Copies of this chain bind each other. A is one copy, B any other.
Amino acid sequence: MTSFNQIIDVIKDDLQAVENILTENTASEYSFVDMAVQHVVEGGGKRLRPILVLLSANASGYKGHDAHLLAAVVELIHVASLVHDDVLDEAAIRRGRETLQTKWGNKVAVLVGDYLHARVLSMLVSRRADDPAMEILADTTQAMCEGEVIHAYKSGDFDISESEYLKIIHFKTGKLIAASCTLGAILGQNRQEHINAFTSYGQQIGTAFQIVDDLLDFVSDAEKLGKNAFGDLREGKLTYPIIHARKMCDENEKQELETVLNPDTEETEAIAYVETLFEKYSVESHCLDVAQEYADCAKHALKEVPDSEAKNALKNLADYVVSRDS
């Protein structure tokens, strides 16, 4: 098993350049805006999307500033969406740090998300005129919103099917991860089959990533997650593991599950019942199997791409997305 740090070793210096761009391009002349923005941008995380831009560019024969800039852009779009998600979810902690609305209230959090989107637009404007990145990112941000709206609208709908849910996460999560790979590939190559291979890779690992993310909310501990476990469940969010468990249930269990997921039920009781069902129907191993299938498809998508260190890193990354524990 290759470690995360080994995987990203080939683009270590590029990642540092991306961090520098993130800092420079989010500065505001207003010190308060600056502080709030830096709080979320530095909050960090693994920088999965920048890593995908950089590895995809590298595996397509490109190295340089354009990849750094686009990597920073996709990360800012991602951070902006997290800031708004936290407002929606009334989350108090993200990655072990207080969220913006805990520190400064909802208003600041909604507006900082908007501010980051505005900065993204400024960064894209600075690029050359015939830039396809703008169109890709316009489509992507639109799809992300549609996915989020539909998920918010469907929240509490017990009848959502696995395939409906997978479509929603493709929009919410998969599109930006796929776009990260597409943008990297385009920098180095303009053959459509080559670009399609990276888009397809991104779509597949995007789905794998979200399924594992959903699962970790149930099986990981708060310290590793950097937020409270069972958070999705507490907020009444139906995610892949629960949707799958419900599909396996008989009628009585379905009834009981719906009852314990009701906000009136004591939380410990709800968690205990969900854990019983997960045990009975091997939900954890099922989720990991499904995620691994997507990861395998992702690797397969790159089969015609010439071998390179970066391509190898992308393949290892697909497995890492499934095997990670936080």
Contacts and interface: CB of A to CB of B under 8 A. Distances in A.
Nearest to A37: B149
A105 interface: yes
A87 B142 CA distance: 20
Interface stretch (A3-11, A28-36, A222-230): A28-36
What's the interface size class on A, roughly? 35 or more
Interface in A139-174: 139, 141-142, 144-146, 148-150, 152-153, 155
A81 B145 CA distance: 16
Contacts of A29: 146
Contacts of A307: none
Interface string A86-112: 011000000000000000111110111
A315 interface: no
A114 B145 contact: yes
Contacts of A115: 142, 145-146, 149
Interface in A13-40: 28-30, 32-33, 36
A137 B125 CA distance: 10
B88 A152 contact: no
A95 to B, nearest CB: 21
A299 interface: no
